[in-house]
A and B are shown apart, each in its own frame.
Chain A
Amino acid sequence: MTPLMEARSVSLGTRLRRTDVLLGPGELVALIGPNGSGKTSLLRALAGVERADGKIMVDGQSLTSVGPARRPYILTFVPASRDLAWPISVRDVIGLGLPRSDPRRVDELIDVLELGPLATRRADRLSTGERARVLLARALAPKPKLLLLDEPLSNLDPYWVLRLLEILREQTSSQTSALVALHDIDRITEFDRAILMDAGEVRADLPPREMLSSDALADAFRIDRDASGWRLRRPADPRSSP
């Protein structure tokens, strides 16, 4: 299978060390790791926000060779920040995702993300969760081949967590691939694959169920699973040792 995205030896100083990531066409991949493990740095490097060392190919072409007119059709990125710098409407924010005006596509996304009642309201005055949906709609608008999403599920209510995962699944089944940074590790079961990062490196790249039971995950997060769920890992007590 030819990968849709191939990142080799991608480095960003000490934040990201010679990282390799491959994504197949239509794959939905979760990116997990403790705070400061390099998830955001990896997404920023892949999105071209920061110029990283190494090779990044998307859809058979180097990202640096793709100009702004074609870039939104190749990849879009939604950062963790939900801030908007200008008072523009929800509809206009979604429209900004398209290099050429396409009101029908904007209407489609307003329907999919159930933004109808908010469409003419100022996006900067919406709640953080509502803005998250608007910004995702903006990223989906050009039907990119690759979606890079940083914590898209944070600040969402339970309905929207499930609905957003459903929307991502629908999108990825139509040849879009997505790499999604998450902090809720139990959600990775909804993904095709999970990549675990720690200290700026990829520590494991496994199917979700295997990832959840892996030592790599337990070590990286310093947690263990027992019958009742996740537990903090305590340093071994010398008095209880035989």
Chain B
Amino acid sequence: MKGWIFLLAAMLLTAALAHLLIPVGPIFELHRASPETASLLLSQIRLPRTLLALGYGGVLGMTGAALQAMFGNPLASPDITGSSSGAALGAVFGSYWLGMTGPLALAFSGALGALAALGLVVGLAGRRSDASVLLLAGVAVSLLAGAATSLLLALAPSPFAFYDSFDWLMGSFVDRSLPQAAVALVPAAASCALLAARARPLDLLALGEEVTASLGYDPRRLAIHVIVLTSIAVGACVSVCGAIGFVGLIAPYVARRITRGHPGQALLPAAIIGGILLLLADLAVRLGPPGRIVPVGIVTTVLGAPLFIWIVVTMQRRVTS
């Protein structure tokens, strides 16, 4: 397991360096002409984008793993459980209706939106529900939050709200500043550290809530911690970069291949894998067709949806066999 973590960390570092430096040509040319401008390009434009892709990917991987362990369900993730769409709704409401402009205030309204959505899903489906019930509750809340977001944008005082927010709503790291990255990543990192400290009780949930409680962990309190910490991390990232789908589903799925299925031990590897995935997805966006910017959220959805379908089909086979 330790060997895997080192290998994954090395891959993450490589992906981050590649994301920061590729394409390398323009940086060299700029460096020859004006070294200061080249270092500004790296530190003010490319670095925030790399940090956000790495950090947001890590948040999606870890919160996805934590939600899956908490719900006892491999289909749970921030997007499937409505947290991402709730966070988007919160941030849109704060930004276009309450006139919030500070990134910190938007991160807060995003976290509240995520908390409300995830709380509603848990209220509807229960903590240890059947996979399909959780999925239905998640889809219902996501659709509701998505529709409410569209409505708020359509009726927003600014007539350009829809157009303005398209790029952000689809998930993007383009043109974010270092302070914006800090607003997303500092609360997210703190929440993830607190989630990682809960790996053992999340593993024990594999034995059921009764056994977990008998071993000294309160499953209800654990669920509240997971819900609140996930909402803070996802809310802060969504408020800066928009909602990005499927990384929170794929990363834990891959990570559990390394942890022999243990859901709690998968938290850290899932975070690293999430970081690698989002760095690579955003690198693909940057190397995509010139003159067109495809939001990174669309890339992850196009790649992630087939895996989601595959997990559903294999689960279905297991149930019917």
Contacts and interface: CB of A to CB of B under 8 A. Distances in A.
A84 B207 contact: yes
B126 to A, nearest CB: 13
Give chain B's interface residue range (CB within 8 Å of chain A).
Answer: 20 to 34
Interface stretch (B53-61, B82-90, B256-264, B285-293): B256-264
Nearest to A101: B1
A88 interface: yes
A68 B201 CA distance: 9
Measured as residues with beta carbon below 8 angstroms from the partner, the interface class of chain A is: 20 to 34
A203 interface: no
Contacts of B204: 96
Given A87-B261, A88-B260, A93 B207 contact: yes
A83 to B, nearest CB: 6
Interface stretch (B3-11, B32-40, B214-222, B240-248): B214-222
A84 B206 contact: yes
Contact of A96 (B128, B206, B210, B216): B206
Contacts of A92: 260-262
A223 interface: no
Contacts of B72: 85-86
B214 A47 contact: yes
Interface stretch (A73-81, A157-165, A179-187, A189-197): A73-81
Given A49-B214, A66-B216, A68-B217, A84 B260 contact: no
B210 A88 contact: no
Q: Which of A44, A72, A83, A85: most chain B CB closer than 10 A?
A: A85
B203 A48 contact: no
A89 B261 contact: yes
Interface in B196-237: 200-201, 203-208, 210-211, 213-217
A213 to B, nearest CB: 35
A235 interface: no
Contact of B128 (A78, A85, A87): A85
Contacts of A72: 215
A68 B215 contact: yes
Contacts of A86: 72, 205-206, 261-263
A68 B204 CA distance: 11
A67 interface: yes
Nearest to B207: A96
A96 B260 contact: no
Contacts of B215: 68, 71-72, 76
Nearest to A68: B216
Contacts of B210: 44, 47, 49, 77, 79, 81
Given A68-B201, A92-B260, A96-B203, A84 B216 contact: no
B130 to A, nearest CB: 12
A48 B213 contact: yes
A138 to B, nearest CB: 7
Contact of B205 (A48, A75, A78, A85): A85
Given A48-B213, A76-B214, A89-B260, A84 B203 contact: no
Contacts of A81: 208, 210
Contact of B214 (A48, A88, A96, A122): A48
Contacts of A67: 216
Interface in A74-129: 75-79, 81, 83-89, 92-93, 96, 99, 122
Which residue, A48, A49, A75, has most C-beta atoms of chain B within 10 A? A49
B265 to A, nearest CB: 10
Contacts of A89: 260-261
Given A47-B214, A48-B216, A68-B217, 7 more contacts: A68-B200, A68-B201, A75-B214, A79-B210, A86-B205, A86-B206, A86-B263
26 contacts: A44-B210, A47-B210, A47-B213, A47-B214, A48-B216, A66-B216, A68-B215, A68-B217, A71-B214, A71-B215, A72-B215, A75-B214, A77-B210, A77-B211, A79-B210, A84-B208, A85-B207, A85-B208, A86-B205, A87-B261, A88-B260, A96-B206, A96-B207, A122-B261, A135-B207, A148-B214
